[in-house]
Amino acid sequence: LVSGRLCAALVASLFVSTAASAQVQDRTLKFGYSTFEAHPLGQGANKFVELVGQKSGGKIKMKVYPATQLGSETQTISATQGGVQDIVGTSTAPLVGLVKEYAIFDFPFLFSNEKEADAVVDGPVGQTLLAKLSDKNLVGLCFFENGFRHVTNSKRPITTAADVEGLKIRTMQNPVYIDAFKTLGANAVPMPWPEVYTALESGAIDAQENPYGIIYVNKLNEVQKYVSVTKHAYSPWAMIMSKKLWDKLSPEEQKIFVDSCNEAKTYQRQVSRAEDAKIISELKAKGMAINELSPEETAKIKAKLQPVIDKYAPSVGEELVRQAQTSI
């Protein structure tokens, strides 16, 4: 009798796994994100789609919906939680609304270079944060890189903290960014990315902050004059799958997604870093004035922003902060 039941259970589990695979293989998965396909994030996304296709022998198919076609990052994260969208690529900043510990990535000047960022996002801190998404109906696969963020504006070069005062600056929908810019005396306006170009064009806002690649592919040179290399924060970009879909996958299929993400991330970061150098001269050629800040002024801005870190460190938790510090 026992062996009969065991046999029935095995047949049932085999059936579930085959049926599940069929559900994934019978349709084209929806992968939406906010940047353009030409951006290094878009190139990384295409590499991920290609790898999943290869590793599954062409059985798992995905269609990319770049350039906010499926909505803002907050909207596409919600759609992925609901299973309406299968995969989302997003800057991690909007995730703080779901998992407060993500705020660690938004701490001003947490990283000085990409090596430090890689050590933290690929180390225990990154793994813990990816795992925390599962309580929110999401599965974190790996982190791509959006990059170090710099301020652009239409008014003046930023060379000291005082130059930020009074600027009406768009921030991501994230409390750490809002507080950081308020602390510097700016008028911080949280706004979904799809609204930003028009708001800059109409003069509703003066400034925004993003990495070089985003400034370039979104042609912000048309609506902004100054790029100040503030390097005030680093944006990881999380690749996230709907848990509804994940739970239907066989362990082999789950592994295909994680492995493909990790392979694609190495490629994506290389492209991102190689393109940064080229973009700086392109932006200059398009008429943007690019200025560096002196180490002394950067240190002063950093000191002014320490209270923001102190405010959010308790919600991140001592252990994660300590792990981040030891990984750097």
Binding footprint of ligand PAF on the chain (CB under 6 A): 34-35, 73, 91, 146, 172, 193, 210, 214, 235
* Contact between 237 and 211 (Cβ < 8 Å): no
Closest by alpha carbon to 150, among 289, 325, 316, 321? 289
To the nearest whole angstrom, how small is the minimum distance from the Cβ of residue 182 to ligand PAF?
Answer: 17
Q: DSSP states of 52-81 as a string?
A: HHHHTTT-SEEEEE-TTTT--HHHHHHHHH
To the nearest whole angstrom, how small is the minimum distance from the Cβ of residue 170 to ligand PAF?
Answer: 8
To the nearest whole angstrom, how small is the minimum distance from the Cβ of residue 73 to ligand PAF?
Answer: 5
State the CB neighbour count (10 A cutoff) for residue 251: 8
Residue 141, CA distances (Å) to 53, 237, 239 in order: 16, 11, 6
To the nearest whole angstrom, how small is the minimum distance from the Cβ of residue 34 to ligand PAF?
Answer: 4
Closest by alpha carbon to 210, among 170, 182, 166? 170
To the nearest whole angstrom, how small is the minimum distance from the Cβ of residue 209 to ligand PAF?
Answer: 7
Structure tokens at 304: 């002014």
Phi/psi for 177 (5° steps) reads -65, -45
